[in-house]
Amino acid sequence: MRFKSFRWGSLFLILVLLQAAILPDLQAQGGSSLVRGMVTNSGNQPVGGVSVIIRNTRNNFTLGTSSDSLGVFTFNRIPAGGPYSFIFSAIGFERQIVSGYNIKTDATLSLMIKLKDSVASIDQVVVIGYGTQRKTDLTGSIATVSSKEFSGQAFSNTNIALQGKVPGVEFTSTSGEPGAKVQVRIRGMGTFGNSGPLYIVDGVQLSGSDINIISPDDIANVSVLKDASAAAIYGSRAANGVILITTKKGTVGKPRLTYSGYYGIQSVHRLIPMLNSLQLADLVNETDNNGGFAPQPAFNDPQNLKTNTDWQKAAFPSAPMQDHSISLSGGTESSRYALSADYLNQQGSMVFSSLKRYSVRFNSQYNIGKRLLIGENLSLVRSQGLNLGYGNNLDLAYLLGASPTMRIYRPANLGGYAGPNQAETGINNRDNIIGRRDNQRHNTSNDNILGNLYLEYSFIPGLKYRLNLGLNNGLATGRTYLGIFQMDNRSNLRQSLTQNSNTNNEYTVENTLTYEKKIHDNIAINLLAGYTEQSARSTTLTGSRQDFPSNSIQVFDAGTGPSVLGGNQAEWALRSYLGRANVTLYDKYLFTATIRRDGSSRFGKENRYGDFPSFAVGWNLDREKFLKDVTAISSLKIRASWGRLGNQEIGNYESQTTISTTPQYIFGTTQSIASAAAVLTLGNPALKWESTAQTDVGTDISLFSNHFSFSADYWVKNTNDILLRTPISVGTGIARDNGAFQNAASVKNSGFEFVATYRNSGRDFSYEITGNLSTLKNRVTSLGGVPSIISRVENVYQYGTFTRTMPGLPMSSFFGYIADGIFQNQAEIAKHATQPGVAPGDIRFRDINNDGVIDANDRTTIGNSFPKFNYGVLGSFTYKAFDASFSIQGVQGKQLYNAQRAYLEAMNAADGQMATTLKRWHGEGTSNSMPRAIRGSGLNTVASSRFVDNASYARLQNVQVGYTIPPSVSARLHIQRLRVYANAQNLLTITKYPNYNPDTLGGSGYNDDSLNPLQVGVDTGSVPIPTIVQMGVQLGF
Amino acid sequence: MKNNILIFIISLGIIVSPGCKKDFLVKTPPDKLPLDGFFNTADRALAGVNAAYIPLASVNLFGGDDISLRLFDPPTGDVILSSAISGVVFNKFAFSADDPNLLAFYSGLYQGVYRSNLVIQQVPAIQMDATLKQRYLGEAKFLRALYYFYLTAEWGEVPLFTVPFKDPNDALIAKSPIADIQKVMIQDLTDAIAGLPVSYGSADLGRATQGAAKALLGKVYLYIKDYTNAAKWFGDVINSGTYGLMDNFDQIINRNYENNKESIFEIQFASAAAGASSPVGDDREYHYWPQVNGGSSEVSPTQSIVDEFEPNDPRKDFELFYYDGQPFAPQLTTSSLNLDVYKKSWSPTGYNIRKGQVPILYINSRGTNYPLIRYADVLLMYAEAANELGQYPDAISAINKVRQRPSVNMPVITATTKDDIFKAIVHERRVELAFEQHRFDDLKRWGLVDTVLAPLGYKARNRYFPLPQLELDVNPKLVQLSGW
């Protein structure tokens, strides 16, 4: 049983001999020879990092090497003779042995090895916290995604690459802008603070979840630690799950040079149908008439009604993007290195935005003697953005709310753009967003150094000390210049320049001791103990100045007007003790226990330290006698874990109530600033850790010689003492949302996760299909005595809404009235409960409490954004030299409060409106869902079920087709490998959702991946995610 | 060799671990001090007092985007909000308890109360100059009374706090009887009058003065219909000789004539020169000015207020842009932009507010001070109190002073009976104090609100604003006003 997969491996061995002469009857001679070979996977993709051992079975001569990133391995000076056998092993593949080779003197032996993918191969190694572990020995729930699953796809954010591939993890885009952050929720939302996971890159924590500083090309694999057993080793920061990223490393062999690059076009197809000039004019005239206002000349001028500016078309032109990456790697037995450089240039799908990213990575590792190992990873990244983060809901309100009767250009104006004006746009005063983005340019740049230096020392076999020094230094700067321009009514007659910089320095020191020992044939132990410290400091500096001699002069020193300066600083520190024990008995019974003790500067003295233990057990059932003879089962494991995790994601200084001297007032004739001292926010010295207890039971099954594999998990996460700023009475004199953090609430998340994979391969083809499905149930179980928290979510121009979080309901449930059709006539109004101010054509709200009056007490829960389930389907196929892959990702049973639609169907002014308003009520029986148009009325846009939309969707996330030219051709061209491919991302989305992005969770910002969990699910507008079609090349020398 | 490496590693491990530092986990805010023990010097007392002024200039009350613009004049029908501004529901009494503007205004007032309370609680124990201490306490008490004045005028009974909270839950209390709150206001203002100076040096202009406290005390009495005391304190202000009317109506609210002799208490805004968001300026200009000048014309005068002016009342030209060809902002005219004269088409109603806006600068210039109490207002309130007390000549004389300001110079009133004098006061206040956010409270005080504003949708419940729903959601002891 134990070696069954080996047998399978040899059965599936596909050996290609390029030189017919090299056959097992090679003669033994006295000199030395060269052995070269290439390792590919079933999809003909080269596999790097494969351990290759050559062994002369007669004299036990043994030598090891590993394949480089092109899958090529080389043995120089192999003594002639034989028979030799070769053993190939790598993470994620079945071990293969080929044997029976005799090697002639001065001859070259070439091997082509195709490895078979293995889901549950006993040698598969998974990256876990502070180490690695064989997959068979795992007791935790860890999902891994390897780079081959997103190779060649175009994206500026690695999280997008993971979307749909990891069950139980929701990746949602905040915006379609280049480099926009992605909200990641691992197993639901269990906190009212930041719900984003912890990112660790090669042992160094990324600050602020800024995964963007890692180029996707540099990633070798990603491990998502989902359950407590896996994550608890990260203690206080692990409650939201942990994402471990391992970057590509050098492998033994001659220097290898590779190039990969693509060019693609992004285009936005999912536009919102809007009214044209004539249709809007009709609406505005009706609006004015119903509101008792005189008609506006602008909307009755035949000339204007022909303008028909399509603002969406103008704002979302096709935008190119390209990426070029070169890597060099190699190594010897005692040292390895890898060097890579990457250049990304992406135009934003919204006009006047772009992202350029230059990154360089270097890592190397040296064995000094037999006991000492020293190595480092270093990455330097510079990214430059234009107008990024300005595609927020304000810009979208300008874009969509702008009148189609407004022109884009007016050459007579300084700057060349038209703008709103009484003659053409009436009371509609929305900016010309095209002109505004051109005239007001916001440039950002980010420089980041991320790296670590490590050394390992083996005292005795099995006992290893590791010192890891991590560094994460970032400098982010921003610069906004507003020149003088004229856009009709929206002119700017005064220049201003604003610059800011934010320096972030984080240091990590980790000391760990590991001890690995097989005490007895059947008892294996693996122990880890560690002491770590982490500290961070960020410093901000901002300045602005007005009035410059010319629009082209854009530095502070040249300014003539007043200037303002500001800045601040913040620090935090974390000190931790950690330990882990893995015990494996008879290769069947697995036990893991971890403990971490964290001390954080963010908590008061009394509760500074927290303890985070976890326990897990696993049972490899397939190794039991009673299953040994069931040949259908390749492997079968059941596992269970429990652990406690923490969360310290609150501000840095929340344990004290402090006096701020920032507020100022003016006195005197010179209008000098008088210092003031005020309490702005409250602190709580008794704050302690938020703790999450998570239980997970799961099973991993492989059937039919690993052709079919299946995993299932059920998990329950109970989070208590949630750090929460409960809204306070404004009677205190402190803003409602600025009360002290309290350990107030409890939330329960639970869900199922399933993954099933089927793979098969024949001589010329192979394929693999994976499906995953996860469910999530989120319930608030306690709010510490507070009956409910009602949170107002602001949206541009008064179309905000409310969410209510209360025990028994999902967090951030939508709160409002139930829209119950439209009053068709006065009689219906008279019959209904008293609803102040309404007339026929207005929305009828349900009298929930049956008191005959529609008032605040009739608001109720009207939905929530938690989906019933998330799913993904991934497939990959190869046929001879061709390969293809696709991924589908979807969400079912999700709702969003579409606050943007509230604005675009308000019909109470002259703002641009959605085409759906064509079906508005204009007399008895004309509509029972779209109310009448009336200027100045807010009655129909109050928070109600009218704007709760079904946001379920299925998306064809990615399709790729590739062709690798045959080795015979590439050899003639003196290259190792050449693959060309075409890829399409976000090709098709099936949804009923009438706004750009059904996958959004709300929030307004590019940088906002820490969306307030009490405001989740309210879509205030975000830049649409473009479709990307690209062609690419992967080339190896 | 092996041992050397080992020693090297161990010592490296020790060197790089800053673990020996005991205070590694102790981090204090670099920009703030703990509240406990903060108020221990005269300078810090002053900083506390200054903080109590800030809410006035904040976005919650009269500064920034200016919530007060929505709450006070639109319900009277003197101005109408266009749909681009939030709060259009205040046009015709369509607002509800959910309205965020109401919560903001209510919060802003209590913020002022809290900061005043903090000074009143903390400052007495500070070792400092006794006169100065009395002044600081006087300022805080004046401000506390001012904030409660607005709370009681707009909401009636509200929770009363006279000491700062220890725990936020201390704020979860029921409403106090209005008489209790009035008692606190009267005592505060009496103390303030005793502690405050008559005037300040130029560096401290804008602080509460004795005159301001007297005027506010008179106003408090006027609202509780204690006309004797109202007339007494207004008379005190008038007879003090400290204040007078500005000759030129254009200079009453004018960025070049701030804190003038007519000003009794005004909110201090920074001019554009400061260029920053803090301290806040006021966006009144932005909301008032036509789009052509970078404004939004979102707050526009109505026909109703235009019709209120007597023929030939020069104040119509001072307070309104109302005809094509009226001089506007010639200094801003450029080759492509003609701003020499006003065009009615710039406004949704055909009118724009001119009062307090001249000289018209480019939009980013916000920062004109905003008067809460000015001398003309005191004269008219005095007239009201005197009229109620039967002192008709005093009332008439006060009204005529306002009408005969040199630049206005309207004929004296002819009224002689109490009713006619009252009518003259009603008219005079509407015209003289137009767009200064007094009329809604005036109408309510006079009991005229039902009849005058009924056509706009006024109902009995509109006597007060509803308590903010979000506040009711937090504080179960708070009971909504009837009708809401």
Query: Chain A 654-713, CB below 8 Å of chain B: which residues?
Result: 656-679, 682
- A936 to chain B, any CB pair closer than 8 A? The answer is yes
Query: Chain A 753-772, CB below 8 Å of chain B: which residues?
Result: none
Q: What angle do CA B184, B185, B191 make, to 5 degrees?
A: 90
- Model pLDDT, residue B174: 95
CA end-to-end distance (rounded Å), chain B:
86
B432: helix, coil or strand? helix
The single-letter code of the amino acid at B448 is: L
Query: Chain A 246-305, CB below 8 Å of chain B: which residues?
Result: 293, 297
The single-letter code of the amino acid at B358 is: V
Average pLDDT for B426-435 = 96
CA distance B229 to chain A (A): 30
Nearest-Cα residue of chain B relative to residue A411: B336
- Model pLDDT, residue A43: 67
Paired tokens of A673: 């600033």
- CB-based contacts of B266: which residues, under 8 Å, 6+ apart? B206, B258, B259, B369, B370, B371, B372, B373, B374
* Cβ pair A671:B273 closer than 8 A: yes
Cα distance between residue A810 and residue A804, in whole Å: 9
Nearest-Cα residue of chain A relative to residue B273: A562
Tell me which residue in B38, B83, B110 faces A908 most closely, judged by beta carbons: B83
In the predicted structure, residue B213 carries a pLDDT above the cut 70: yes
- A653 to chain B, any CB pair closer than 8 A? The answer is yes
Strand partners, A126: A133
Q: Which residues of B touch A663 (CB under 8 A)?
A: 51, 54, 278-279
| Measured CA distances, A917 to A79, A103, A400 (Å) | 83, 80, 14
Strand partners, B426: none
| CA nearest to B211, candidates B400, B375, B405, B433 | B375
Nearest-Cα residue of chain B relative to residue A795: B86
* Cβ pair A656:B29 closer than 8 A: yes
- A572 to chain B, any CB pair closer than 8 A? The answer is yes
A935 torsion bin: left (phi>0), alpha (psi -120 to 50), beta (else): beta
In the predicted structure, residue B454 carries a pLDDT above the cut 60: yes
Which of B473, B478, B484 best tests the A interface by mutation, with the highest count of A CBs <10 A? B473
| B293, B329 Cβ separation under 8 angstroms | yes
| A165, A874 Cβ separation under 8 angstroms | yes
**Top mean-pLDDT range of A46-60, A993-1007, B22-36, B457-471:** B457-471
| A328, A340 Cβ separation under 8 angstroms | yes
Cα distance between residue A947 and residue A958, in whole Å: 31
Q: How confident is the model at residue B317 (pLDDT cuts 50, 70, 90)?
A: very high
Residues of chain A with pLDDT under 70: 1-32, 43, 91-92, 117-123, 152, 154-159, 164, 174, 193, 207-210, 391-393, 796-798, 1003-1011
- Model pLDDT, residue B278: 46
* Cβ pair A798:B86 closer than 8 A: yes
Q: Which residues of A touch B172 (CB under 8 A)?
A: 729, 731
Paired tokens of A512: 């760990």
Q: What angle do CA B379, B382, B385 make, to 5 degrees?
A: 155
Q: Which residues of A touch B26 (CB under 8 A)?
A: 601
Nearest-Cα residue of chain A relative to residue B204: A668
* A75: DSSP letter: E
* Cβ pair A564:B276 closer than 8 A: yes
Which of B22, B291, B366 best tests the A interface by mutation, with the highest count of A CBs <10 A? B291
A1-17 pLDDT tens trace: 343 433 333 333 333 32
- Starting at the edge strand found earlier in the chain, the sheet holding A96-103 runs A62-66, A51-56, A81-89, A96-103
**Residue that has been written with the tokens 């920062």 in this structure:** B367
Tell me which residue in B6, B113, B364 faces A733 most closely, judged by beta carbons: B113
| Measured CA distances, A118 to A169, A709, A772 (Å) | 23, 10, 18
Q: Which residues of A touch B471 (CB under 8 A)?
A: 729-731
Residue by residue, DSSP assigns A745-765 as: EEEEEEEEEEEEEEEEE-SSE
Other beta carbons within 10 angstroms of residue A811's beta carbon come to 29
CA distance B32 to chain A (A): 5
Alpha-carbon Rg for chain A in angstroms: 31
Mean pLDDT of chain A: 84
A284-318 pLDDT tens trace: 999 989 887 788 888 999 988 999 999 999 999 99
Cα distance between residue B5 and residue A459, in whole Å: 11
- Model pLDDT, residue A331: 86
CA end-to-end distance (rounded Å), chain A:
41
Alpha-carbon Rg for chain B in angstroms: 26
Cα distance between residue A838 and residue A341, in whole Å: 64
* Cβ pair A546:B9 closer than 8 A: no
Tell me which residue in A671, A672, A856 faces B97 most closely, judged by beta carbons: A856
Paired tokens of A963: 């062709």
- CB-based contacts of B325: which residues, under 8 Å, 6+ apart? B341, B342
Q: Is residue A87 within a helix (H) or strand (E), and if so which, with residue range?
A: strand A81-89
**Residue that has been written with the tokens 């609150």 in this structure:** A650
- Burial degree of A756 (CB within 10 A; 0-12, 13-18, 19+): middle
- A837 to chain B, any CB pair closer than 8 A? The answer is yes
- CB-based contacts of A521: which residues, under 8 Å, 6+ apart? none
Q: Which residues of B touch A600 (CB under 8 A)?
A: 25
* Cβ pair B117:A652 closer than 8 A: no
* Cβ pair B345:A297 closer than 8 A: yes
Strand partners, A559: none
Cα distance between residue A1026 and residue A267, in whole Å: 5
Other beta carbons within 10 angstroms of residue B354's beta carbon come to 23
Cα distance between residue A101 and residue A827, in whole Å: 96
In the predicted structure, residue B37 carries a pLDDT above the cut 80: yes
* Cβ pair A420:B38 closer than 8 A: no
Cα distance between residue A508 and residue A472, in whole Å: 9
CA distance A301 to chain B (A): 15
| A123, A36 Cβ separation under 8 angstroms | no
Average pLDDT for B239-247 = 95
| B442, B73 Cβ separation under 8 angstroms | no
* CA dihedral of A198, A199, A205, A209, whole degrees rounded to 10: -80
- A834 to chain B, any CB pair closer than 8 A? The answer is no
Size of interface A-B (CB pairs under 8 A): 313
Nearest-Cα residue of chain B relative to residue A797: B86
| CA nearest to B346, candidates A910, A429, A308 | A429
Cα distance between residue A409 and residue A415, in whole Å: 9
Nearest-Cα residue of chain B relative to residue A609: B25
A483: helix, coil or strand? coil
A399-440 pLDDT tens trace: 999 999 999 999 988 889 998 887 888 888 888 999 988 988
Q: Which residues of A touch B110 (CB under 8 A)?
A: 730-733
Q: Produce one character per residue of B79-93: b if its CB has 16 or more CB atoms within 10 Å, e if not.
A: bbbbbbbbbbbbbbb
- Model pLDDT, residue A6: 36
* Cβ pair B32:A660 closer than 8 A: yes
Q: What angle do CA B190, B196, B199 make, to 5 degrees?
A: 135
Q: Which residues of A touch B269 (CB under 8 A)?
A: 666
* Cβ pair B87:A675 closer than 8 A: no
In the predicted structure, residue B428 carries a pLDDT above the cut 90: yes
- A601 to chain B, any CB pair closer than 8 A? The answer is yes
Longest dimension (CA), chain B: 114
- A855 to chain B, any CB pair closer than 8 A? The answer is yes
Tell me which residue in A293, A369, A657 faces B35 most closely, judged by beta carbons: A657
Q: Which residues of B touch A491 (CB under 8 A)?
A: 294, 337
* Cβ pair A561:B173 closer than 8 A: no
Q: Which residues of A touch B296 (CB under 8 A)?
A: 429
Residue by residue, DSSP assigns A281-333 as: HHHHHHHHHHHT-PPPGGGG-TTGGGT---HHHHHS--EEEEEEEEEEEEE-S
- CB-based contacts of A546: which residues, under 8 Å, 6+ apart? A494, A495, A496, A497, A559, A561, A562, A563, B275, B364
Cα distance between residue A869 and residue A882, in whole Å: 34
Q: How confident is the model at residue B365 (pLDDT cuts 50, 70, 90)?
A: low
Average pLDDT for B209-218 = 97
Which of A460, A513, A666, A671 best tests the B interface by mutation, with the highest count of B CBs <10 A? A666
Cα distance between residue B25 and residue A295, in whole Å: 67
- CB-based contacts of A3: which residues, under 8 Å, 6+ apart? none
CA distance A897 to chain B (A): 18
CA distance A794 to chain B (A): 10
Q: Which residues of A touch B468 (CB under 8 A)?
A: 730
Query: Chain A 510-549, CB below 8 Å of chain B: which residues?
Result: 511, 531, 533, 535, 544-546
Which of B1, B3, B5, B9 best tests the A interface by mutation, with the highest count of A CBs <10 A? B9
